[in-house]
Amino acid sequence: MGDSEQKSGSSRQWLAKGALILASTVLALCLAEGFLRVYFWTQGVGRGDIQELLRLSQQAPEEVVDTQGVFGIVQPSPFPDVVYELRPNLRGKFRGQPFSTNRFGLRGPEITRDKPPGTLRIVGLGDSHMFGWGVGQDETYLALLEERFRGLGIPVETLNFGVPGYNTAIETAVYERKARHFAPDLVILHFVGNDLNLPHHLQPPRGFKPAHWFLVELLRGIFAKKGLDGELELLPHNLKNVPENVRHAAQGRYAYMLGEEGYRRAMEALVKRIRDDGTPLIILALGQRELVAEVAAEHQIPLLNATATFFEVLKTQGGQTHREAWKEAFKIPGDGHPTALAHQAYAEALFQELVRRGWTSGT
């Protein structure tokens, strides 16, 4: 056999090996993607429209809850503009932490609908940050705020209406449909950066293009720059890269919730209803939020930026205030939600603000 024939045979062998390696790699990636799709399907992602998902969630066993995500702890709301809510009377763990809901579907102890005489009742409207994603039942900042008041001998009830995924439009509906009927003395609205967008499970279905693969988005979440709140965005809140015709079709009845226009509309409705009820409102935020500040000023609503208090708490942890120290202290690793220490900082910021406004002197 001549040199040319040997080289030709060697080339064919390398091509065959290369083709085998390529085929094996593609097969492995497809299997990995298939595994992820099956896994997220078991978590409720991609099962169909939101109402189907919520019905399946409502049917999940409730005797002992032990879950990592919202599937199994939420159910359809009887109010279309609230869309979904926490299931009542749950007991168990959420993301490894003690978790329970009362008969009204709020994370917290049992309460009566009628406010006990002489009690200051504070209602919280928010999303997973207020709900307490990744922290224990008594570690949420509303529970800690209640504890601070009771330590002064002031009877206080904090009602946590926070639910993972809620945005400002849904929170406004929650006040109108549910929270206001508990006769609150004060309402705290927690603004988070994704409150101008849809909850994860109201997003349009993901396609089969590689850019939409769960595997690609998982890797992007691990290695790429995180979103506004440091979340791994397997199901991104932001729809700006979705074609306009698909976006409008997918949004459907929820289009009114989106963007600056949706936020302003929701805030206008919330402020009007709260003022009709004669109930004070405070907006809680972290960092400079220009839109929120503008809307707060327009409606003359107090805006509490908790950043200064967070820095003070960080200093007490060792004096380091750089970005990595902040992240380590206040963000759950690989998640981005507030740690138990961050909830302590929120509680301290709120307590100081309420002291300054005279709320510790009684109702």
211 located within any domain: no
15 or 295: which leads in pLDDT: 295
Amino acid code (one letter) for 357: R
307 located within any domain: yes
- The reported pTM is 0.77
What pLDDT score was predicted for residue 247?
46
217 located within any domain: no
Residues 6+ apart with CB under 8 A from 88: 101, 102, 103, 104, 105
What pLDDT score was predicted for residue 358?
92
Q: Do the strands 156-160 and 120-125 form a parallel or antiparallel pair, or are they unpaired?
A: parallel
pLDDT over 90 at 5, yes or no: no
| pLDDT tens digits, one per residue of 244-294 | 444 444 456 677 888 899 999 999 999 999 999 999 999 999 988 899 999
When pLDDT is averaged across residues 169-197 and rounded to a whole number, the result is: 95
336 located within any domain: yes
Domain range holding 76?
Answer: 50-198+254-361
pLDDT over 80 at 216, yes or no: no
When pLDDT is averaged across residues 320-327 and rounded to a whole number, the result is: 82
226 located within any domain: no
198 contacts 254 by C-beta, under 8 angstroms: yes
pLDDT over 50 at 22, yes or no: yes
Radius of gyration of the chain, Cα coordinates, nearest whole angstrom: 24
Per cent of the chain over pLDDT 70 is 75
What pLDDT score was predicted for residue 244?
46
When pLDDT is averaged across residues 37-47 and rounded to a whole number, the result is: 56
Token readout for 112 is 């009566």
157 located within any domain: yes
What pLDDT score was predicted for residue 245?
45
What pLDDT score was predicted for residue 201?
59
pLDDT over 50 at 204, yes or no: no
245 located within any domain: no
pLDDT over 60 at 125, yes or no: yes
pLDDT over 90 at 69, yes or no: no
What pLDDT score was predicted for residue 249?
45
Alpha-carbon distances, residue 34 vs 30, 38, 215, 264 (angstroms): 6, 6, 9, 41
Q: What number of other Cβ atoms are within 10 A of residue 204's Cβ?
A: 16
90 located within any domain: yes
| Domain harbouring 151, CATH code | 3.40.50.1110
Token readout for 245 is 């015709």
pLDDT over 50 at 171, yes or no: yes
pLDDT over 60 at 45, yes or no: no
Report the alpha-carbon distance of residue 165 to residue 203 in Å, rounded. 11
Tell me which residue of 37, 71, 50, 78 sits closest to 164, measured CA to CA.
Answer: 71
Number of separate domains in the chain: 1
Token readout for 48 is 């169909």
